[in-house]
Protein backbone atom coordinates (compact mmCIF):
# COMPACT_ATOMS: atom_id res chain seq x y z
CA UNK A 1 0.00 0.00 0.00
CA UNK A 2 1.18 3.48 -0.76
CA UNK A 3 1.35 6.02 2.06
CA UNK A 4 -1.82 7.68 0.79
CA UNK A 5 -3.56 4.34 0.79
CA UNK A 6 -2.31 3.58 4.30
CA UNK A 7 -3.57 6.89 5.61
CA UNK A 8 -6.91 6.54 3.87
CA UNK A 9 -7.34 3.06 5.29
CA UNK A 10 -6.50 4.37 8.76
CA UNK A 11 -8.99 7.22 8.33
CA UNK A 12 -11.70 4.71 7.55
CA UNK A 13 -10.89 2.71 10.69
CA UNK A 14 -10.71 5.87 12.77
CA UNK A 15 -14.03 7.24 11.50
CA UNK A 16 -15.65 3.88 12.08
CA UNK A 17 -14.54 3.62 15.71
CA UNK A 18 -15.04 7.30 16.45
CA UNK A 19 -18.69 7.31 15.47
CA UNK A 20 -19.05 11.07 15.82
CA UNK A 21 -17.82 13.35 13.00
CA UNK A 22 -14.02 13.08 12.96
CA UNK A 23 -12.34 16.44 12.55
CA UNK A 24 -9.90 16.41 9.63
CA UNK A 25 -7.46 18.36 11.81
CA UNK A 26 -7.50 15.67 14.52
CA UNK A 27 -7.00 12.97 11.88
CA UNK A 28 -4.22 14.98 10.21
CA UNK A 29 -2.31 15.31 13.49
CA UNK A 30 -2.08 11.55 13.93
CA UNK A 31 -0.09 11.33 10.68
CA UNK A 32 1.66 14.66 11.02
CA UNK A 33 0.20 15.88 7.76
CA UNK A 34 -1.57 19.16 7.30
CA UNK A 35 -5.26 19.58 7.57
CA UNK A 36 -5.74 20.37 3.91
CA UNK A 37 -4.07 17.14 2.87
CA UNK A 38 -6.15 15.13 5.33
CA UNK A 39 -9.26 16.91 4.12
CA UNK A 40 -8.51 15.92 0.53
CA UNK A 41 -7.97 12.30 1.50
CA UNK A 42 -11.31 12.28 3.27
CA UNK A 43 -12.92 13.77 0.16
CA UNK A 44 -11.34 11.03 -1.96
CA UNK A 45 -12.74 8.38 0.34
CA UNK A 46 -16.13 10.04 0.25
CA UNK A 47 -16.08 9.93 -3.54
CA UNK A 48 -15.06 6.27 -3.58
CA UNK A 49 -18.02 5.19 -1.46
CA UNK A 50 -20.31 7.27 -3.64
CA UNK A 51 -19.14 6.05 -7.03
CA UNK A 52 -19.23 2.45 -5.81
CA UNK A 53 -22.82 2.94 -4.67
CA UNK A 54 -21.93 1.69 -1.23
CA UNK A 55 -24.61 1.20 1.41
CA UNK A 56 -22.49 3.22 3.78
CA UNK A 57 -21.35 6.71 2.86
CA UNK A 58 -19.18 9.43 4.32
CA UNK A 59 -20.75 12.74 5.16
CA UNK A 60 -19.04 16.00 5.88
CA UNK A 61 -20.02 18.29 8.71
CA UNK A 62 -17.89 21.38 9.01
CA UNK A 63 -14.66 19.73 7.82
CA UNK A 64 -15.30 16.69 9.98
CA UNK A 65 -16.25 13.33 8.47
CA UNK A 66 -18.53 10.57 9.58
CA UNK A 67 -19.75 7.24 8.25
CA UNK A 68 -23.49 7.00 7.83
CA UNK A 69 -25.92 4.81 5.94
CA UNK A 70 -27.08 5.67 2.45
CA UNK A 71 -30.48 7.33 2.71
CA UNK A 72 -31.94 5.11 -0.01
CA UNK A 73 -31.70 2.13 2.33
CA UNK A 74 -33.84 3.65 5.03
CA UNK A 75 -36.72 1.33 4.22
CA UNK A 76 -34.63 -1.80 4.77
CA UNK A 77 -33.10 -0.48 7.97
CA UNK A 78 -36.60 0.21 9.20
CA UNK A 79 -37.64 -3.31 8.35
CA UNK A 80 -34.66 -4.72 10.18
CA UNK A 81 -34.95 -2.63 13.30
CA UNK A 82 -38.67 -2.29 13.85
CA UNK A 83 -39.73 -4.93 16.29
CA UNK A 84 -42.95 -6.78 15.61
CA UNK A 85 -45.58 -6.96 18.24
CA UNK A 86 -48.26 -9.53 18.10
CA UNK A 87 -51.75 -8.22 18.48
CA UNK A 88 -55.06 -9.93 18.52
CA UNK A 89 -58.33 -8.50 17.40
CA UNK A 90 -60.69 -7.46 20.16
CA UNK A 91 -63.84 -9.48 20.65
CA UNK A 92 -66.01 -6.77 19.12
CA UNK A 93 -63.71 -6.35 16.12
CA UNK A 94 -63.79 -10.10 15.58
CA UNK A 95 -67.57 -10.06 15.71
CA UNK A 96 -67.97 -7.24 13.25
CA UNK A 97 -65.48 -8.96 10.98
CA UNK A 98 -67.45 -12.20 11.22
CA UNK A 99 -70.72 -10.44 10.38
CA UNK A 100 -69.14 -8.73 7.40
CA UNK A 101 -67.52 -11.96 6.26
CA UNK A 102 -70.77 -13.87 6.31
CA UNK A 103 -73.19 -11.18 5.20
CA UNK A 104 -71.09 -9.21 2.73
CA UNK A 105 -71.76 -6.86 1.06
CA UNK A 106 -73.33 -5.25 4.07
CA UNK A 107 -73.98 -1.72 5.31
CA UNK A 108 -72.99 -0.34 8.67
CA UNK A 109 -76.66 0.04 9.60
CA UNK A 110 -77.25 -3.66 9.03
CA UNK A 111 -74.27 -4.60 11.18
CA UNK A 112 -75.45 -2.28 13.91
CA UNK A 113 -78.94 -3.68 13.79
CA UNK A 114 -77.55 -7.19 14.17
CA UNK A 115 -75.27 -6.25 17.04
CA UNK A 116 -77.54 -3.66 18.59
CA UNK A 117 -74.60 -1.38 19.16
CA UNK A 118 -72.75 1.32 17.24
CA UNK A 119 -69.64 0.17 15.46
CA UNK A 120 -68.14 3.13 13.59
CA UNK A 121 -64.83 2.85 15.43
CA UNK A 122 -64.57 -0.89 15.01
CA UNK A 123 -65.19 -0.57 11.27
CA UNK A 124 -62.59 2.17 11.04
CA UNK A 125 -60.08 -0.07 12.81
CA UNK A 126 -60.76 -3.01 10.53
CA UNK A 127 -60.35 -0.82 7.45
CA UNK A 128 -57.04 0.43 8.83
CA UNK A 129 -55.90 -3.13 9.32
CA UNK A 130 -56.91 -3.81 5.73
CA UNK A 131 -59.26 -6.61 6.74
CA UNK A 132 -62.38 -4.99 5.31
CA UNK A 133 -62.97 -2.39 2.65
CA UNK A 134 -65.69 -0.45 0.93
CA UNK A 135 -67.00 -2.52 -1.92
CA UNK A 136 -69.70 -0.20 -3.26
CA UNK A 137 -72.87 1.62 -2.38
CA UNK A 138 -76.25 0.22 -1.51
CA UNK A 139 -79.18 1.31 -3.68
CA UNK A 140 -81.15 2.13 -0.52
CA UNK A 141 -81.96 5.55 0.90
CA UNK A 142 -78.85 7.68 1.34
CA UNK A 143 -76.91 5.12 -0.70
CA UNK A 144 -74.93 3.86 2.32
CA UNK A 145 -71.50 2.29 1.91
CA UNK A 146 -71.32 -1.48 1.50
CA UNK A 147 -68.50 -3.32 3.24
CA UNK A 148 -66.77 -6.56 2.35
CA UNK A 149 -63.65 -8.45 3.37
CA UNK A 150 -60.27 -7.95 1.69
CA UNK A 151 -57.59 -10.17 0.24
CA UNK A 152 -55.58 -9.57 3.40
CA UNK A 153 -58.48 -11.06 5.31
CA UNK A 154 -58.37 -14.21 3.21
CA UNK A 155 -54.59 -14.39 3.48
CA UNK A 156 -54.48 -13.90 7.24
CA UNK A 157 -57.03 -16.61 7.89
CA UNK A 158 -55.60 -18.90 5.29
CA UNK A 159 -58.70 -18.96 3.10
CA UNK A 160 -58.27 -19.43 -0.61
CA UNK A 161 -61.53 -17.59 -1.27
CA UNK A 162 -64.79 -16.76 0.45
CA UNK A 163 -66.21 -20.20 -0.24
CA UNK A 164 -63.52 -21.48 2.08
CA UNK A 165 -65.23 -19.89 5.08
CA UNK A 166 -66.73 -22.56 7.32
CA UNK A 167 -70.48 -22.81 6.76
CA UNK A 168 -72.54 -21.29 9.52
CA UNK A 169 -74.05 -24.71 10.22
CA UNK A 170 -70.59 -26.22 10.71
CA UNK A 171 -69.34 -23.59 13.07
CA UNK A 172 -69.99 -25.60 16.19
CA UNK A 173 -68.08 -28.49 14.67
CA UNK A 174 -65.06 -26.34 13.93
CA UNK A 175 -65.05 -25.13 17.50
CA UNK A 176 -65.58 -28.58 18.95
CA UNK A 177 -62.71 -29.98 16.93
CA UNK A 178 -60.36 -27.27 18.03
CA UNK A 179 -61.44 -27.62 21.63
CA UNK A 180 -60.92 -31.31 21.63
CA UNK A 181 -57.49 -30.63 20.29
CA UNK A 182 -56.72 -28.06 22.95
CA UNK A 183 -58.66 -29.79 25.70
CA UNK A 184 -60.20 -26.43 26.45
CA UNK A 185 -62.90 -26.15 29.04
CA UNK A 186 -66.14 -25.31 27.26
CA UNK A 187 -67.55 -23.95 30.51
CA UNK A 188 -64.81 -21.38 30.54
CA UNK A 189 -66.46 -19.28 27.88
CA UNK A 190 -67.58 -16.09 29.50
CA UNK A 191 -70.23 -13.92 28.01
CA UNK A 192 -69.28 -10.34 27.74
CA UNK A 193 -72.25 -8.08 28.37
CA UNK A 194 -71.86 -4.48 27.23
CA UNK A 195 -71.88 -2.29 30.28
CA UNK A 196 -74.48 0.29 29.40
Interacting partner of 162 out of a copy of itself, other proteins, none (Cβ under 5 to 8 A depending on kind): none
DSSP state of 170: G
CB 26 within 8 A of CB 63: no
- The CA-based angle 119-123-124, given to 5 degrees, is 115
By C-beta, is 62 or 86 nearer to other proteins? Answer: 86
CB 107 within 8 A of CB 132: no
Write 132-140 long-range contacts (CB < 8 A, 24+): 132/97, 132/100, 135/104, 135/105, 136/105, 138/105, 138/107, 140/107
Please tell me whether residue 172 binds other proteins under the rule CB under 8 A. Answer: yes
Which residues in 73-112 contact other proteins (CB under 8 A)? 74, 77-78, 81-89, 91-92, 94-95, 97-99, 101-102
Please tell me whether residue 12 binds other proteins under the rule CB under 8 A. Answer: no
d(CA 112, CA 123) in angstroms, rounded, equals 11
Q: How far is the CB of 155 from a copy of itself (least distance, A)?
A: 15
Interacting partner of 27 out of a copy of itself, other proteins, none (Cβ under 5 to 8 A depending on kind): a copy of itself
Where do contacts with other proteins occur on this chain (CB under 8 A)? 13, 16-20, 59, 66-71, 74, 77-78, 81-89, 91-92, 94-95, 97-99, 101-102, 113-118, 129, 131, 156-159, 166, 168, 171-172, 174-175, 178, 189, 191-194, 196
Amino acid sequence: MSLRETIKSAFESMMFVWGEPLDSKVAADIFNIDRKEAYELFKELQMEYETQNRGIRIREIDKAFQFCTWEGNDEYIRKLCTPVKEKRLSQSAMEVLAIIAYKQPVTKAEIESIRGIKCDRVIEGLIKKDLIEEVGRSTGIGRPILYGTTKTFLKNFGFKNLNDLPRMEDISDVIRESEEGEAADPLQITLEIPNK
